[in-house]
Amino acid sequence: MSPKNLNAAIKIPNILKKNLKNQKISKIYKRFERNLDIYENFVVAVSGGPDSLALAFLAKIYSIKKNLVSKFIIVDHKLRSGSTNEAKATQKVLKKNSINSKILSWHGKKPNKKVQSEARKKRYQLLFAESDKFKIHNILLGHHRDDLYENFFIRLLRGSGLKGLISLDKKSEINGKILLRPLIDQKKEDLAFVAKYVFNSYIDDPSNKNEEFQRIGIRELIKKLQKKGLDKKKFHNTINNLKYSDSVVSFYVKMNLKENTFFSEKKEKIYLRKEYFEQPYEVVFRSLIESIKIVGKKHYPVRGKKLSKIISNLENSRLFKQTIGGCIIERVNQTVMVSKEH
């Protein structure tokens, strides 16, 4: 049976189907469908906020239409006293709309610093482990257009380079898992409309009102800049233009890695030819990040400041040795190698 005939035979539950009769929701779904455009099973991360509830609804419709397996996961970080009740409430509202879900909890000691960053890492860890049970590689996340803008300013304040400024992309990869953001072109207010229309409610995270969290401060900054004339359409075009520039740099990074490196027999060591370091600085910088990720087998890139110092030392010293990202970078005369730290 062809996919077209197969889809025709699948019935969408009435409680979900009736919502597609709304013209605005139908239009949002069509954009979502174009953005996602996959024919493989997937996991959906749901938090209970308007963005993730809209994602859950759209993803459920998509999975039924394409005859795909979809798993909906709620992560309870247990960082607040009411988080467990919120997770259960989210599960209940999904169930009412024919969407079954599972709650995963973060047990153990919680961090005092970099709370949101550590929570994100743990969330991915739980999602990856659950997806492994079903041999699923695709994970859908609820990032939208406003998240794209906020991420730009956060990275700008950190002094990030081109890659960092546009790091929130439609598709990325972590440890063999494909992170998909099919809402990245959707407006936050449109997603809130979907969540309210379909589920009649959503959870407003109390931390969204807490100015201690950097992202929330950035959100308020963007609102102030809009009053001063910031045009979000032009801003979006700027980000897209930066992405085009980034793709050019990425091309030369791939060429540098292909032409100016070679592996040891067991691929636990990469030798870097002298031509590797004769490229423009940004190409060398990113090439070294990729080399460290390949050998160290870690996703998260190393810190920029430390790596900049290493590049400087490699260029100016005949003898040099430094550990970073689970690797040892060593120079002996004209030979530079990156090996796994044991």
Q: What is the pLDDT of residues 160-203, one digit of tens each?
A: 888 888 888 899 888 889 999 999 999 999 999 999 999 988 87
The answer to whether residue 236 sits within a structural domain is: no
> Could you tell me the residue range of the domain that residue 172 belongs to?
3-230
Do 32 and 91 lie in a common domain?
A: yes
Do 224 and 286 lie in a common domain?
A: no
Do 59 and 166 lie in a common domain?
A: yes
Here the tokens at position 242 are 């930066």
State the Cα torsion 26-31-34-38 to the nearest 10°: -80
DSSP string over 20-74: GGSHHHHHHHHHHHHHH---S-EEEEE-SSHHHHHHHHHHHHHHHHTT--EEEEE
CA distance 166 to 199: 32
334 pLDDT tier (thresholds 50, 70, 90): confident
Here the tokens at position 85 are 């009740």
At 175, is the secondary structure helix, strand, or coil?
coil
Do 198 and 59 lie in a common domain?
A: yes
Beta-carbon neighbour count of residue 267 at 10 Å? Answer: 10
What would the mean pLDDT of 58-70 be, rounded to a whole number?
96
Eight-state DSSP code of residue 299: S
Q: Quick one: 208 exposed, middle or buried, by C-beta within 10 A (0-12, 13-18, 19+)?
A: exposed
The answer to whether residue 235 sits within a structural domain is: no
Do 298 and 226 lie in a common domain?
A: no
Q: Which residue among 204, 230, 256 closes a domain?
A: 230
Do 174 and 262 lie in a common domain?
A: no
Do 126 and 171 lie in a common domain?
A: yes
Q: How many domains does the chain have?
A: 2
325 pLDDT tier (thresholds 50, 70, 90): confident
Amino acid at 232: K
pLDDT digits (tens, 9 = 90+) for 250-259: 999 999 999 9
**Predicted structure pTM score:** 0.81
DSSP string over 125-139: HHHHHHHHHTT--EE
Average pLDDT along the chain? 88
Which residues share a beta bridge with 75? 104
Which range has highest mean pLDDT (116-125, 131-140, 257-266)? Answer: 131-140
The answer to whether residue 238 sits within a structural domain is: no
Do 258 and 199 lie in a common domain?
A: no
Place of tokens 């605005």: 24
Give me the sign of the Cα torsion angle 296, 299, 303, 307: positive
